[in-house]
A and B are shown apart, each in its own frame.
Chain A
Amino acid sequence: MDRNEHESERRGIPLQRVLTDTSDRSKAIGLLVAVVVVGGFALIVAIAVGAAEAWPVLVPCVIALAILIPFAMRSARVWLGWENPQIYLPSSEPLHLGDHVVVRFRRRARGRAQAAGSKVTARIEVEEQATYQQGTDTHTAKDVVYRADVPVELHDVVDQAIEVDLAIDIPLAEAPPSMSLRNNDVVWRLVVDIEAPDAPDDESTFPLIVAPEIAQRLIDGGVGR
């Protein structure tokens, strides 16, 4: 259990399952590596052949760097400005159709950046993903078939960390449950956007598993759709 989880336990959050989005770090590292590789390749070619004669190689490299560097810098700012975001779920069990669950989102700013004054918005999305072969190529068609905003309630802002509660309503029949087959998938995710006054804006994505099962409260209570 890491430092953040210890603090959460102390504050009485029913910690059953934690999801962490580490994509910021992966994206930043990937883009920085790409910049280094492209830039290094261009430099080696320029030294070996001479800049004047290597322009057919250098021009595309410069164009690629002009595109990559701004994205790499932004990704690095996000990675350096924020620790990995986390959500705390009240149960380790999958979600069910018709469920109402409150999860806690937590994100800590790094360095001198402050989380106070941050604005957090969230939504759930359901996406169908269909993979098909066209000759020797593999393509995946995607379509977001359901999207709904999630109410956000501020819980706490302390020690550069902001915590908000997200009240998620899983629809009963508007979208199919999670599905993972070889060529066809239905993916549920929670998307959380954070805008901070002195830290870069960022979007975090957390996968949700929705089982093909109706929430017990609906079966017992007979609530309609």
Chain B
Amino acid sequence: MSAPVVELDTDVAECGDVVSGRVSWGPVDKTPRQVVVELIYETSGRGDTDSEAVSEHVVAGADSGETRFTLSVPDDGPITFDGSLIRVAWRVEAKLDQAMQRDQRGSTAVTVLPAGGLALWARQVAPPPTVGPIGGSDAVPHDAGFEDPPPS
């Protein structure tokens, strides 16, 4: 069994914008009823977790396949940030909805900036602030700051 693989056109988006990419999966031992791709935010830190799937893309299941998706980022965020008590992280998660067995899932992190953030940070020729993966260790520095851009 292979978990679905999520690939994003770009791993940075802004509020009011969209996240697009493609999901590929297969082969699986049981044909999923459907393939669901969701844009999810999740908080971590001192407070109880808040998590919500804000948009989704659903396609009919197949033993293997690939689909493109476009998911909307809400205007009112929240944005990705790593604060003192609260951390907010976003991910695109694909799920193979399989009957009578645990769903196969795959996900990729995405950074959500304030509206207008892409243009501003692009002009500064620097990547936007990032946070570690959901459930990452507390060794991730509180102030993640800027990282070197990935090689193109």
Chain A residues near B (Cβ < 8 Å): 97, 128-133, 141-143, 145, 173, 176-177, 179, 181-184, 186, 211-216, 218-219, 222, 224-225
Contacts and interface: CB of A to CB of B under 8 A. Distances in A.
B43 to A, nearest CB: 5
A181 B50 contact: yes
Contacts of A218: 116, 120
Contacts of A129: 47, 85
B78 A179 contact: yes
Most buried by A among B79, B84, B117, B120: B120
A97 B79 CA distance: 12
B129 A173 contact: yes
Nearest to B45: A130
B50 to A, nearest CB: 4
B84 A143 contact: yes
A184 B50 contact: yes
- For the residues of B in contact with A, the DSSP-based class is loop
B102 interface: no
Given A130-B46, A214-B115, 13 more contacts: A129-B85, A131-B47, A176-B79, A183-B48, A184-B50, A184-B88, A212-B77, A213-B116, A214-B119, A215-B116, A216-B116, A219-B119, A219-B120
A131 B46 CA distance: 8
